[in-house]
Amino acid sequence: MAKFNAVCQYRGPLPPNTLLPEPRMKMQKKSDLPTRICVRCGLPFTWRKKWERVWDEVKYCSERCRRTRDGAA
């Protein structure tokens, strides 16, 4: 990954108090993501970006399992 420096490629050095973008988080292997077991079907599922803020509340692997909560597998 390229390092951030205070030199613009086309216009020379940047003014002293210029805000630079923060480096992005390091990539994570899919095998390193947290997993859970679905309450409905019993299959394991992994963390998804859309569940980032509510991961503690996630119980089902899919919308289908969530809709048929009480049915048999």
For the record, the structure tokens of 10 come out as: 């086309």
**Per-residue model confidence (pLDDT) at position 73:** 52
pTM of the model: 0.54
Please say whether the beta carbons of 73 and 62 come within 8 A: no
**Comparison of pLDDT for 7 and 50, the residue scoring more:** 50
**Per-residue model confidence (pLDDT) at position 59:** 94
In a domain, 16, yes or no: no
pLDDT band at 7 (very low <50, low <70, confident <90, very high): low
In a domain, 67, yes or no: yes
In a domain, 54, yes or no: yes
Q: How far apart are CA 14 and CA 7, in angstroms?
A: 6
Q: What is the pLDDT of residues 18-58, one digit of tens each?
A: 666 666 667 778 778 899 999 999 999 999 999 989 999 99
Closest among 65, 16, 17, 18 to 43, alpha carbons compared: 65
The domain tally of the chain equals 1
Q: What's the residue count for the chain? A: 73
In a domain, 5, yes or no: no
Structural domain of residue 56, as residue ranges? 31-73
